[in-house]
Amino acid sequence: MSLRELVTGSDVCTPADGGAGPSNAMGSLANALVGRSSKTQEQLRELPGVHGLPGPSAFGGPQSTVDAVARAAAEGDFLDIPGIGPSAGFADEFLAQGRSQQQAGPLPPHFAAFEDIYRQSQRVGPRGPLPGLPPGQLGMQGPQLAPFLQAFLDSGKAGAQFQPLPMPQVPLSMEDQCQIRDRSTIMARHLFADRGDAFADEQVGKLLQSLHINPQALPAGSMQAGVSWDAIFHNAAPHHLMQPTMAADVAAGGQLAATAQQDSQWANEFAQLHLREEPSASANRWANEFQQAQPPAETWAQEFEQRNGPTSRWADEFGRQTAEGTTATSNAQAVDNGAALSQTRKLADTLAANKDPKFQNSKFLQFVSKMSRGEIILEDNQAKEATPSQIGGQWATEFAASDGGLDAAWRELGVAPSAWGEEFAAQNGVGSATGWAGEFAAQKGLDPAAATWADQFAEQFAPAEEVNQWMDEFAREIEGDVAAQRQNGGMEASMPGASGEYVMSADNPFLEDVDSFAKGKELFRHGVLSEAVLALEAEVQRSPGNVDAWRLLGIVHAENDDDQQSIAAMNKALAADPTNPEVLLSLGVSYTNELDQTRALSYLHTWLANHHVHGKVAASATPLPDSSQRLSWVVGLFQQAADQAPADADIHTALGVLYNLSRNYERAADAFRTVLQLQPRDYSLWNKLGATLANSSHSGEAISAYQRALDLKPNYMRAWTNMGISQANVGKYDASARYYVRALSLNPSAANVWGYLRTSISCAGRLDLMQAVEDEDLEALTRAQPL
């Protein structure tokens, strides 16, 4: 459900607020499935196959809809379902749409631009203020709430507990409060359907609490006395649960039945667009190739009809209509097949582009993906075993296994909810309905832990050994690694600083300055990072044994998003002071960033072993049971130490880093949040929390954490860069470019950020700025992309 609807109130969920109702069924369905979806919704609306879903909410409740389906089936009509519209209107509207696209405004020169226009229209929706803006400028609570509610939505994606960030008191009217309560309840129950209502209510409770809304103080549901939350939910739920049926009908089957004509028209139009992009290609060629890519095999809908036969009146009727429609337009059938499949594929792509894991796992996406996979499999020269009938069967099985609410709707109709689906599946001999889902899960699943490195490492290092002895061996191991890398001549060894040697800047104006250390510290305090680097480099060149100067230099490089140089500087510091805890911790962080688990783990373990308080935990630990368990063993030690010292910020910070290393992002975020309660003004911790959230697909929440870091330290180049990454992750490429430009104005030598900036500018379609990037003209870029 989009924030726009959540905040402005025009969705289907709240029946009695006079909202506008859903503008289309597909959009509402997507809303129900996706967290943030103004983007997806817009895209769906633009999809040719989904155009003709006009009108305000005409889903008058499950009964009337079901009746309509039954009636339509009995009469042999095209599915004359309220809210979807008859086929004629559908066609007219579609054609009008096509015409208006050609008349209103110039047609984009090629398809990419065509796509960009869609994207731009999506960006219009209020998605909250730019985080840099002070809330006061925005006046209304709506925009102010937006990022907050986004965070609430994002919290659901991995089933994480919602951790509200502190929120200033926002003046909300009673009506607003009711709306927030009602909508978030309904939404939460959709989002957390797999976690149960209690969990959803708990999340909502937290949301309301942090917004300073007391649910008890509000009138019951939608300002109507005596309606409970449950009632609201159950009133709203059938609307949504019915929509998959309708939407699926329309998107997949209904199209085949009566819109072959439009489809071919659409295909032609698409081909024309395509033509402009590749002048050599002809519309016919494109359409023809599509046909060739499709064998004359039936679509799933036809399969469905044939297999299912008399077992289901509805399916039978539906299938007959499909057949009629197909016969009536038989000369357009081939194009129709191609176009329908391409539509589905486009739909699948659009949906798959949404990275929301909740959505990625949704049944709807699985269904659409399967539709599109019909085509993929046929094109696949490996000739996967799946046949159209199997695909149809899987779909039916899954359909039957879908939400209980849907089943309930079917029951009202007097049809055994899953019987026909199972029968259909049985006829097709489909083995496992969850096969595809399983494959998907396996793809997305995380590997527990790499083992080989741990083996190697453990061979050289037994936990009982003396720390110093271990340090020696470790140093030797590192040298060996570096040598091996040099020998391999791999990519890493060719990167500057990868050899582990610190690279000094040339032409350092501070070299003659005897006071360079003090100046370096002062510059660092004022956030002038690049100058601080020069001053500190001058200092360490004069006195290479100055641990603090090396350490500060390492910190500055980390804040400037240069882990290689940071590591090199920290190693110099470590050479002078082998057990310096800050240095060890910082090395652990930097190697974690560089995804070098072996070294990150070593330094963090050394940090613990040398810790004046927690060292005894490491010393008294049971020996490592098995070398492949090293990561979890070290994490266990840290967890033990952290449990004993709940108020020790350092141990929780280290624990958070370790959990990042083990990909346990939820616990990592918890650890950082714990430290932030102790040290709320530590900007690097806010950044660590943000990075943890971003790397676990919570970019929305990450953005607010980065903002805290930047509020505390405006010249924190790493946080600006991270902010840019997160903005790109949520599809705001323009904003992302602005943050990268800002980061680069702080550290123009960050080559990777220049690359990211190109990426975002290219995705934002701002090719006019490419020359400025090419010239590394920050002034022009800042002018063009002001923050």
Residues near another protein (CB under 8 A) are 111, 274, 277-278, 342, 345-346, 348-349, 352-353, 355, 372, 376, 379-382, 384, 443, 446-447, 450, 452, 490-492, 495, 561, 563, 589, 592-597, 657, 660, 687-688, 690-692, 694-695, 702, 718, 721-722, 725-726, 728-729, 731, 733, 751-752, 754-756, 758-760, 762-763, 774
* Residue 595: burial class (beta carbons within 10 Å; 0-12, 13-18, 19+): exposed
Q: In whole angstroms, give the CA distance from residue 589 to residue 566.
A: 10
Measured from the CB atom, the residue of 202 and 754 that comes closer to another protein is 754
Is the Cβ–Cβ distance between 703 and 727 less than 8 Å?
yes
Report the C-alpha gap between 606 and 117 in whole angstroms: 54
CB of 605 to another protein, least distance (A): 18
Q: Between 79 and 689, name the residue whose CB sits nearer to another protein.
A: 689
Work out the angle between the directed axes of helices 547-559 and 581-593 (0-180°, nearest 10).
30
Q: At its nearest, how many Å lie between another protein and the CB of residue 500?
A: 16
Q: Per the structure block, which two tokens stand in for 175?
A: 């009506």
Pseudo-torsion of CA 679, 681, 685, 686, nearest 10°? 130
Residue with Cβ nearer another protein (459 or 775): 775
Task: Give the nearer residue to another protein in terms of CB position, either 269 or 423.
Answer: 269
Cα separation, 252 vs 271, in Å, equals: 21
Cβ proximity to another protein, 295 vs 490, nearer residue: 490
Phi-psi category of 134—alpha, beta or left, where left has phi over 0 and alpha has psi -120 to 50? Answer: beta
Q: What sign for the dihedral angle of Cα 679, 683, 684, 688?
A: positive
Query: Shortest distance, CB of residue 699 to another protein, whole angstroms?
Result: 9
Eight-class DSSP state of 35 = S
Beta carbon nearer to another protein, 104 or 767: 767
Query: Residue 762 CB, nearest distance to another protein (Å)?
Result: 5
- Could you tell me where the DSSP H helices lie in 76-129? 87-103, 111-123
Cβ closer to another protein: 453 or 510? 453
CA distance 738 to 726: 12
Provide the token pair at 297.
């095999």
Q: How far apart are CA 652 and CA 648, in angstroms?
A: 7
Residue 8 or 387 with smaller CB distance to another protein: 387
Using alpha carbons, select from 251, 283, 263 the residue that is nearest to residue 338: 263
Task: Give the shortest CB-638-to-another protein separation in angstroms.
Answer: 16
* Closest separation in Å from C-beta 382 to another protein: 4
The residue whose two tokens read 């805290």 is 708
CB 613 within 8 A of CB 640: no
When the beta carbons of 510 and 591 are compared against another protein, the nearer one is: 591
Would you put residue 218 in left (φ > 0), alpha (ψ -120 to 50) or beta?
beta
Cβ neighbours, 10 Å, residue 745: 16
Neighbours of 228 (CB within 10 A): 10
* Nearer Cβ to another protein (23/722): 722
Shorter beta-carbon distance to another protein: residue 230 or 380: 380
H or E element at residue 683: helix 683-695
Alpha carbons 189 and 637: distance in angstroms, whole number: 38
Structure tokens at 506: 């040339």
Residue 443 or 622 with smaller CB distance to another protein: 443
Task: Determine contact, residues 182/12, Cβ cutoff 8 Å.
Answer: no
Give the dihedral of Cα atoms 330, 331, 332, 336; nearest 10 deg.
Answer: 50
Q: Residue 578 Cβ, how far from another protein at the closest point, in Å? A: 23
Residue 448 class from Cβ within 10 Å (0-12 exposed, 13-18 middle, 19+ buried)?
A: exposed
C-beta closer to another protein: residue 81 or 725: 725
- Shortest distance in whole angstroms from residue 50 CB to another protein: 17
CA dihedral 68, 69, 73, 74 (to 10 degrees): -40
* C-alpha 601, offset from chain centre: 28
How far apart are CB 725 and another protein at their closest, in Å? 5
Position of tokens 């002062």? 522
In whole angstroms, how close is the CB of 288 to another protein at the nearest point?
15
Shortest distance (Å) from residue 478 CB to another protein: 15
CB of 775 to another protein, least distance (A): 11
Smallest Cα–Cα separation from 540: which of 564, 505, 489? 505
d(CA 125, CA 150): 13
Q: Decide: 552 and 523 in contact? Cβ < 8 Å.
A: no
Nearest distance, CB of residue 256 and another protein, angstroms: 20
- Indicate the residue among 25 and 334 with the shorter CB distance to another protein: 334
- Backbone dihedral angles phi then psi of residue 610, each to the nearest 5 degrees: -95, 0
Chain center to CA of 50: 25
| Nearest distance, CB of residue 490 and another protein, angstroms | 7
Instruction: Work out how close the CB of 688 gets to another protein at its nearest, in angstroms, rounded to a whole number.
Output: 5
Nearer to another protein, 543 or 752 (CB): 752
